[in-house]
Structure 1
Amino acid sequence: MTSAFREDRSHFEASSPTTSVHGGRGDDGEGAATAPVRQSDDASSTDHVQEKEAAATPLTKKQKFKRHCGRFWWWYLIGAIVLLAILLPIIFLVIIPAIVQRILNDQTMPISGGQFIAVSPTKLNVSILTSLDSPLPARIDPMTLLLYNKDTPTFSPFVNVSLPELHIKGTTPLNIKNQIVTVTNETELISWFANVFDQPTVTLSTRGDPKIHLGALHTNGHLDKTVTVNSLNKLDGFSIQDLQLLMPARENGTNIQGTLNLPNWGTLDLGIGNLSLNLMSGDLRIGLITVYDVYLPRGNNIRYFNGELFLDTLFQNIGTILSTQGDALSGGNIQINATGNATVVNGEHIRFIETILNNRTVTSTTSVVKLASDLISSFTNGSQVSIPDILDEVFGNTTFIQEVLGNWNATKSNSTSTTKKRNLLASIPRSVRGPGALSLFKLGMKMTTGKF
């Protein structure tokens, strides 16, 4: 029993050496037993000191951000990929097109010049000077610009013009120059030209679909602008400047020539070829003149004309004519109206212009003294001749002319026995009869013959 116990004890001692009350493991293992404990205490102390030092020196925001990104960079990478996958389509398909469209909508495209010239019944020579303004440098591909009337319910362009490639940066001039275009809708063109003639200003609408490049990016836009330009305002200021009778008449019947003023108050120059005009006194047609190669830049335009004055109609209807001139003659003037008769380019009638001008009337008011002087100088060429003799030679009826002058003050008679000539004179209003009107006529003759 005893030996067994000892064996067990010795076994216990070998595997588990005794320790002292102070934690020693016996005499032989004291140093070895205590050495590891001391090393562990030193390491713990060092870590504790480092932690205290780290706690005493806080990280900067930049250091914290770098440490944060270093830990979670892959999360941010995934988030950036997802965000770009969402935003890029929105940027390219929504935001950039919206910016470009806003720039197009803000364009004013003021028209500062240009021309519309008829070259055939179906073609026009068109020039337009305008400008585009962009805060971003851009390139625009060649495109077609459609001209139309905005007041027409259905979009119906009347001509199309082509634009070349454009490079826009800031305010950039846009010059469409001398393009021969085909009339695509004559009815709409007539409607627009009618407003050009009748109104002081007219609107011109344009529409196109440009493809715009912003560097490497490109997008499609829609341009639809309406601008206001000055127009003809019924040729306000039209007047016959001078008039000369040709005696004898030329073989083609031409017996009158002179100059007239065709003012253009508009922004666009107009070319309409050879323009024939009816000369009217009231509703009575008393002549036909032609103005050649009519091209009307902005401002007054003095143009030569010639034609035929219907002298037989004029003197056979002297009473009717004088009756329609009552208001004008009371102020010492003669009023001559003109309406369109024909518009011809290269021997072809320009229907869309004739449709407009043949239904419009312009009025010229000329001093009786000046008109009489111009007409009489046609006969005399400044020489001392007898006016009744000239009238007798031209009209073959001196007696009638003398009767007109002698009966200027005649009162209206209801007697059926009154002669036809006296009835014509009696129908003239009192405002155009009397010594004043006769004096004006005599004054014109005296000025021409040098007796005044």
Structure 2
Amino acid sequence: MSDKVEVTQYEEIPVKLGKRKRCLLHLRKFWWAYLIGLICVIVLVVPLLLLVGIPNLAQDKINSAKFHIDGIIITKTRGETMTVALNASMAVSGAGIKATIAEFPAELYLADLEPHTPFLSLNFPKTSASSHINLNITQDVKIPDMQAFTTFAAWLLGKETLNLGIRGKSSIRVRGISRSYGISFKKTIELKGVNQFKGIEVTDTSISLQPDKKGDNFHGWVNIPNPSILTVEIVSITP
């Protein structure tokens, strides 16, 4: 008689972990490596954002902005000085950054005449960057180059259109950041000229043999068309 021994063998089947649990186990094991990597990313990205990203973004916004001049009024001309009033606006697309543009001197020149010698300089005031910026400037200015200003006046009177260039250097400060970033402002605007006063009309004329109390014997109305946005004060040069 032989003894029979029954042997029972159990085989453990490995439990298959889900993707989420595997990720959690991996993070628990290598959390220190991910922490070091995150610190390295922050150390690299933040300086690049402050030194490169924000300045480039600010300059791109200025470059793509639409600058429009509504009117230029010149009064109180006396020698090489005058009073200039400029009404303009600038539309900035997607201006979601709260920032301030510092005051800066802007030079005006003829864009189609080399070299670009400025004939006038205006101080653009400090403004808050927004989607629509209004500029209303009235300043007493001195003509920096009389030859350049004379050429501008001749082009304005003789041409149908002319291109006016405006340039300057300023700085912009984004809210929440202590430093300022330099920006360049350069725009070219097409202006309508007087076009040799084409369309001028003299109406209701009359001539009298006897002069009036002012000594005038010719009377009439003169219609001088001005399609340009420039208004110039006309003063009497008679004694």
| Shorter-chain TM band | 0.7 to 0.9
Asked if 1:149 is matched to 2:110, the reply is: yes
| 1:264 aligned residue | 226
- The SS at the match of 2:44 is helix
Matched, 1:69 2:45: no
Q: Which residue of 2 aligns with 1:124?
A: 82
Larger strand fraction of residues:
2
Amino acid at match of 1:154: P
1:208 to 161, 168, 187: 168
Identity between Structure 1 and Structure 2 (%)? 22
Q: 1:166 aligns with which of 110, 117, 127?
A: 127
1:147 and 1:204 in contact (8 A); partners too: yes
**TM-aligned CA deviation for residue 232 of structure 1:** 0.8
* Paired residues of 1:114 and 1:269 also in contact (CA < 8 A): yes
Stretches of structure 2 that go unaligned for 5 or more consecutive residues are 1-9
Number of corresponding residues:
226
TM-score by length of structure 1 reads: 0.45
What CA distance in whole angstroms lies between the structure 2 residues aligned with 1:188 and 1:215? 40
* Aligned AA (2:186): D
Assess if the C-alpha contact under 8 Å between 2:124 and 2:137 holds in 1.
no
Q: Distance in 2 between matches of 1:213 and 1:223?
A: 15
The answer (yes or no) to whether the contact 2:64–2:93 under 8 Å persists in 1 is no
Max radius of gyration: which structure?
Answer: 1
Which residue pairs with 1:176 in the alignment?
A: 136
More deviation, 247-256/220-229: 247-256
What is the SS of the residue equivalent to 1:169? coil
Q: Which residue of 2 aligns with 1:188?
A: 148
| Residues 1:230 and 2:192 are matched in the alignment | yes
What's the counterpart of residue 73 of structure 2?
A: 115
TM-score, with length taken from structure 2: 0.81
1:58 and 2:20 correspond: no
SS of match in other structure, 2:68: coil
Distance change in 2, residues 1:181/1:132 (3 Å):
farther
Counting helix residues as a fraction of each chain, which structure ranks higher?
1
Per-residue deviation, residues 102-141 of structure 1 (Å, max 9, x unmatched)? 1111122022333233521222322232223141233212
Pairwise CA RMSD of aligned residues? 2.8
Matched, 1:99 2:57: yes
**How far has the Cα of 1:183 moved from its partner?**
1.1
Structure 1 segment 71-86 matched on structure 2, within 5 A? 71-86=29-44
In structure 1, how many angstroms separate the alpha carbons of the residues matched to 2:71 and 2:90? 11
Within 1, Cα distance between the matches of 2:164 and 2:19? 66
SS in 2 for 1:110: strand
Higher RCO structure (Cα 8 Å, ≥6 apart):
2
